[in-house]
Every structure is written in C-alpha cells, then in structure tokens.
Amino acid sequence: MNTALIPEEILQIGESLIRFVDQEIAPIEAANKALLASDRTIFDEKGRFTPEVEDLKRTVRMKSAEAGFYTMFGPEEIGGGGLGPLASAYLNGILSAHCGPGRPLIHPVVIPSPFTNGLSPVLTFLDPGLRDDYLPQLASGDKTMCFGLSEPDAGSDIFNMKTRAIRDGDEWVITGTKQWITNGPYADYAMIFAITDPDLFAQRKGGITGFFVDTKWKGFEVVSTIPIMGHLGAEIGILSFDQLRVPDQHRLGEVNQGLRVALRGVNTGRLGLSATCVGLARWALGQAVEYAKVRKTFGQPIGAHQSVQILLAESASDIYSAETMLIDCALKLERGEKALAETSMVKQHCTDASNRVFDRCMQVHGGMGLTNELRLEEGYRFTRSMRIPDGTSEIQRRTVARELLANGINF
C-alpha cells in the first residue's frame, strides 16, 4: 500500500500494531496450536466456539484493549481513541496483509468491528446514566456485544423487518427474531432494533427504534449458530425475543429514529471490512509470487510461464486499484465530504477483487492451493462471504447507480 498519504502518527500505530501481534498474540497461538488448528477443536457439537477458544479470544481482546488497539476507532466522546476512516483503512489493511487468513484470535478480535464489540459508534446514543455501568466492561474486552438489525426477511431491505417493540409504561416489550447476527451466540449485550411505529414504518419513513439489551434478561434466547461455507461452527447466529422487557432508559436515541442510530459509523465499518479483504489479497499474492519462483514444471519455475504471469499481474492490478480507491474514499470521509457512492464502490470493488485474487492465487498453487495447509482456501472462503454482508455487491451497485442518476458524476 502506498503510504505517502498516511500521516506519520498512523504509520507508527501500524508498526506498533504489528509488533503487538508478533510479540503478544503469536506466542498464544503457538502455545495453543493444536486447539486452533481445526474446526473440530475450535467448535463444539452445537457449532459454538468451545469454552477454551472463547477464553483465548477474551484474553486477546483484553490484551489489545490494554495496548490501546481494541478501542482506537471508538468515538472520543465515549472514551475511544477517535481514529477516523483513513486510520481504519490503513490499519485493518496492514494487519490482514501481515497475518493472513485462518487466525481466529486475530480477526476480528484485535480490532473489533464498529457494529459489534468495543466502543461502537452506536453507543454514543446510550443514556449517559448507563455509560459508567456498561462502557468500561466493553472497552476492556471483558464483555462483548452484537448488533441486531437483520432478520430472516430483512437483509438488504430493512423495511421487511417484523420485530416489534410495544411501549408498556416505562418499559418496552420486544417480540421477534434476528438472524445473521455476528457474535450473537456469545454476546453479553445486544443492540436490538424493532418497529415502534407501524404507520411510519409502512411508509418507509422511520418507525424503528434501537435498544440496548442484556442478553441474560428473560425473553432473550440464542436459537442457534449458522455455520457457513465449509465451517463446522460459526460466529453468527439466530436470536429470538419473546416478551423481552426493556427499560425505556435502555433506548438508543430517539423513538422512531433507529435507522439513524443503526447507520452511525457505517462508512468506517465498510472501509474497515474492505481493507481487511484487500490486505488478505495482498498476503495471498505474496504467497503466489514466492511459490511461482520455486515451483518448477517442464524444467523451469512456473513464474516463467505466461499463463502464470497473467494470473499474478491481474491480481496485482486488482489490489492496486482496490487500495487506491480505498485510500481516496477514506480521505474524502476524513475531510467530512459526502461519499456515499464512493463508499459503495469501495465495498463492492474491494470484496469482489479480493475474491478474484484468492481464486487466481489458488490456481497458481495448483493442487496445493486446495489444501488447508496453505490457508489460501480459508481466505477464498472468507473473501467470498464478504461480498454479501454489510450490503451485498448488488445493493452497492444500486446505490452507486442511484447517486449517479440523482447527482451526476461527482467522484
């Protein structure tokens, strides 16, 4: 990645981050190599992380928090480091490029997603009277959260939501189901969004409210995990609410303004996800280039064959274009510019391009590329899956087209 546009302070944080991973986390991984080597030991028979793995993740979270990395993207007003979109793009990218895929104690444990753990931007809407009770637990990595917006019929179209919250005195009664919820099976607290004004909701003018919920409260249930794409278990799951009573003080923001709450930090989150994918792609290309130098067929290194050179060159072009888009968009957001189309283009292009890179790099490795040993297939599965959450590639293209038709070519 071209670092010419990255401030020196962020570059130094990046160096410290990589040093932290190598000195603090790598030894933990090495000491627990047998446990972390296979889904059969990472997950139990119900598809949940085993207690041993959960304990290790908690240890890493708390080490990262102590070192200042875990909360560095959290808003300053709730005690975070306040680092912005440019730092998110750069730091997520170099972490992934350095570590590669298939390391469950790294992604997204050291640097959490802004929609789940740590000091999420959504928590700026938490009642000030509750902050001393909850924020220190979340900032330290001791407790975790989940973000409950998606439902079985409400993914790309959130106005298919069915979960309802009905006011009952000083409480709200929530009934419904959430699905595809990252960290849902493990969270101590949940940010849940529900319909509170059916009329406004039917007009697509709001009518949704957010709530901060303790997952131990009566009426909150984890139905199951949702294993995806070659895994025996999962970080994501299905949540159910049966007459879940939530004090009004635990409301996130104004009544019926939940979408504004839910979308707080969405741009930075999409840039971070995109940067993770591009960083992994850079790692994969590095593996393929080195392999092309040493693997020989027909009396010469495979890197001498034009067909392999094309795979490497096209991968490099994908990475360069993705990183350039990523940094340009991050700089616009850093300056406070409106960059809706640019953010959507970045999310779509970076995830699509990274998936293409892994596909090509697996091809360069031939049969070895299909093995678990090299971690390429793990990266392929991850980048493929990232083309769907946080707005599918198709939804991102729709957003770009609508911006073009409404406002012209302004990027």
Q: Given 257, 279, 299, which residue is the final one in a domain? A: 257
CA distance 379 to 229: 11
Domain hosting 292: range is 266-407
Phi first, then psi, for residue 164 (nearest 5°) are -120, 150
Q: Given 139, 156, 188, which residue is the final one in a domain? A: 139
Q: Given 110, 139, 168, which residue is the final one in a domain? A: 139
Is the bond preceding residue 152 a cis peptide, omega within 30 degrees?
Answer: no
| H or E element, residue 145 | strand 145-148
What is the model's pLDDT at position 255? Answer: 98
Task: Report the domain count for the chain.
Answer: 3
Q: What is the CA radius of gyration of the chain?
A: 22
Partners of 167 in the beta sheet?
A: 172
Residues 6+ apart with CB under 8 A from 347: 270, 273, 274, 390, 391, 393, 396
Largest CA distance in the chain: 80
- The CATH number for 336's domain is 1.20.140.10
What is the model's pLDDT at position 141? Answer: 97
What is the model's pLDDT at position 2? Answer: 79
Please indicate, yes or no, whether residues 107 and 17 belong to a single structural domain of this protein. yes
Please indicate, yes or no, whether residues 61 and 153 belong to a single structural domain of this protein. no
- The CATH number for 150's domain is 2.40.110.10
What is the model's pLDDT at position 381? Answer: 96
Please indicate, yes or no, whether residues 42 and 168 belong to a single structural domain of this protein. no
Please indicate, yes or no, whether residues 196 and 316 belong to a single structural domain of this protein. no
Phi first, then psi, for residue 257 (nearest 5°) are -110, 30
Closest CA to 185 of 75, 47, 88, 308: 47
- pLDDT mean by block of 10 residues, the chain; 411 residues: 91 98 98 96 96 98 98 96 96 98 94 87 96 97 96 92 98 98 97 98 96 98 95 96 98 96 86 97 98 97 98 98 97 94 97 98 97 94 95 95 94 87
Q: pTM for this one?
A: 0.96
Please indicate, yes or no, whether residues 225 and 108 belong to a single structural domain of this protein. no
